[in-house]
Structure 1
Amino acid sequence: MQPLFLKPVFQERIWGGTVLREEFGYSIPSEKTGECWAISAHPNGPSIIENGPHKGKRLDELWKEQPELFGHPKEEVFPLLTKILDANMDLSVQVHPDDDYARVHENGELGKTECWYIIDCKEDAEMIFGHNAATREELMDQIEQGNWSSLLRRVKIKPGDFFYVPSGTIHALCEGTLVLETQQSSDTTYRVYDYDRKDENGNTRELHLDKAIEVTAVPHEDMMSSPRVETMEGLSVTTYVQSGFFSVFKWDVNGLASVPENETYRLASVINGSASLVHKEQAYSIKKGDHFILPASFGEFQLEGNCELIISQP
């Protein structure tokens, strides 16, 4: 019973940059690297186990072959995906389907409810979060006329902010934002607007307006997070969301902390600092940029050091 450390998979994007290298020391494939798929069993970028008896195995393989590590889950596929996003430029305005719609229209893919922890962003940064249309007809009219400034809602953001983004929410990260994203394991995105920009071959990216209009929640409702903070010796735990899709927490480690046993498996990403994780007299070094899974029934363990982790579980 060991933590499962994972090798990230990097995805190049038209809006990506180099912050993943500068901030985390990752070896990225290009100057347009937008996404680090940190903990992934999705076929478009599965993570590889880096340690222990399962070293070299893909996470999706381990999910099927060793279900006891995950508490004998009922889901056919690993349900979560952890990413770090470097928005060097504005992302497209987009929306994601729910499970029912994706199952029918996307060959059985999961829907995509997600959430964002803002690791860092430029001063006066903002994002697009929701729309102002009162009816679906108004939404269609505004999109057809290109009235983006009146249709789209913009909100100011700052480091440490957290946003819950249910399926059906029109959204876009904007330039100068570094985000840890926890989401359902899905790669389905419907683009609504991409600023008419072109790729290196002079082509615009495909839009998916019919599907986007069908799945967008109208009217928009803000799903505001109300974080709860619980403090124990050496550890402060912030609970951001507990939904039917995932629960997400932030652990601030300051000194020596004992972490009690958890029934289900947990996904962990170190976003700052370093520490030692001690389990049954075995110590593991963890540092900024590391990602790992604590198996189900991992048992009590200790953390000693100074670091920040984003933790999620199904």
Structure 2
Amino acid sequence: MYQHEPLFLTPEFKDRLWGGTKLRDVFGYTIPTETTGECWGISAHQNGASEVRNGPLAGRKLNEVWESHRELFGDEDGEHFPLLVKILDADQDLSVQVHPDDSYAREVEGEAYGKTECWYIIDCDPGSELIFGHHAQSKESFKELITAGDWDNLLRRIPIEPGEFYFVPSGTIHAIGAGTMILETQQSSDTTYRVYDYDRTDANGNTRELHIERSIDVASIPHEDPPFSPLVAEEDGLKQVQLVSSEYFTVYKWELDGTYSLPEEHPYLLVSVLSGEGVILSGDSSQAVQQGDHLIIPATMKYCQLEGDLEMIVSKSNKA
């Protein structure tokens, strides 16, 4: 199939103990509950695959498109679509957690991928913070502080501001704090190990499962902040900031003010619109694009021109 237009996707939504209503209030999504914590905007994962809503593939799930039309993705290898893009509304604190790498996820969980991720802070309340890393210098100290419940001395808290970016490799102890909305780009995995959940209970009075031993197995000790060296490029009407280029993905922030044409040869791109409106012109069509849209520009789309006033997070897979 030679796809001449972007694939616009219908998100999947997830109710979460810590969720709220900002996905509706800010982005205009129709959310299923008043505690909707996650919008899976671009997903081919079995726990919540997005659906194509336009063109000849309308009604097909992204995982089906990946399996049957690999040419749209530059004939990239791999049984599973590699990335997952979410918007998270943390009305309350998320649990303190850690994710495994690829080998541990395959061997222990039977999951195709581990979970390296990254966060762009869309907005946050004054005084909001993240837990990013820990203070233990050895596995023994790490285990002792967990056993003692000495979270104040174990966990590293940092204040945050809108527009900041964090790269979160697998093995990083982390948690998103209350009052924070982020766009998360990650490997396509749904494996999370909870270290601490503030002793919260659900509607039935039950605490959520913790995964202490597996967390100890996979945590990076001692913690080291990954380097952050954004690269800025400006061309025509586009300001492009490369936020990270890792083993698994490259993530950009695009600020469009005017018109920008993609090179004819380009990889498939995952695009999430944070604000603004505009159009995407292809060889034989014009598609309106606005805040809250999630779409894929396929590798087969040789002519692609963007026009308008748009703020976007754009990513590409580095598997090929």
TM-score range, shorter chain: over 0.9
Question: Of 186, 209, 214, which aligns to 1:211?
Answer: 214
Q: Verify the 8 A CA contact 1:261 1:297 in the aligned structure 2.
A: no
Q: What SS does the aligned partner of 2:200 have?
A: coil
Asked if structure 2 preserves the Cα contact closer than 8 Å seen for 1:266 and 1:312, the reply is yes
Which one of the candidate residues 162, 186, 191 is aligned to 1:183?
186
Equivalence for 2:205? 202
Where in structure 2 are the equivalents of 1:77-88 lying within 5 Å? Answer: 77-88=80-91
Within 2, Cα distance between the matches of 1:233 and 1:108? Answer: 42
Deviations 1:30-87 (A, max 9, x none): 0010000000000000010000000000000110111111111111100000000000
Indicate the residue corresponding to 2:46 in structure 1: 43
Per-residue deviation, 1:300: 3.6
Aligned residue pairs total 314
Q: Which residue of 2 aligns with 1:130?
A: 133
Aligned pairs for 1:1-314 (under 5 A) are 1=3, 2-314=5-317
Residues 136 and 233 (structure 1 numbering): CA distance in 2 closer, same or farther, change over 3 Å?
Answer: same
Shift of 1:256: 1.8
| Cα displacement string for residues 197-252 of structure 1 (whole angstroms, at most 9, x for unaligned residues) | 10000000000000000000000010132111101111100001111100000110
1:248-290 superposed Cα distances (whole Å, 9 cap, x missing partner)? 0011000122222343211000000011111114211000000
Contact 2:130/2:158, CA 8 A, preserved across alignment: yes
**Conserved? CA contact 1:240–1:249, under 8 Å:** yes
Aligned-residue RMSD, C-alpha: 0.9
- 1:163 and 1:224 in contact (8 A); partners too: no
Aligned counterparts of 2:230 and 2:264: Cα–Cα separation in 1? 22
Q: Letter of the 2:30 partner, please give it.
A: S
Could you tell me whether the CA contact under 8 Å between 1:280 and 1:301 is conserved in 2? yes
* TM-score of the two chains, using structure 1 as the length reference: 0.98
CA contact (8 A) 1:236 1:253 kept: yes
Counterparts in 2 of 1:186 and 1:252: CA distance versus 1, 3 Å: same
Higher mean Cα deviation, 261-270 or 288-297? Answer: 261-270
Deviation per residue, 1:171-201 (Å, 9 max, x gap): 0000000000000000000000000010000
Distance 1:262 1:178, change over 3 A: farther
SS in 2 for 1:24: coil
> In the alignment, is the contact (CA less than 8 A) between 1:120 and 1:178 conserved in 2?
yes
Displacement of 1:297: 3.6
| Kept in 2: contact 1:16–1:87 (CA 8 A) | yes
Q: Conserved in 1, the CA contact under 8 Å of 2:256 and 2:310?
A: yes
Whether the 8 Å CA contact 1:92–1:195 is kept in 2: the answer is yes
**Which runs of 5 or more residues in structure 1 are unaligned?**
none
SS at match of 2:26: helix
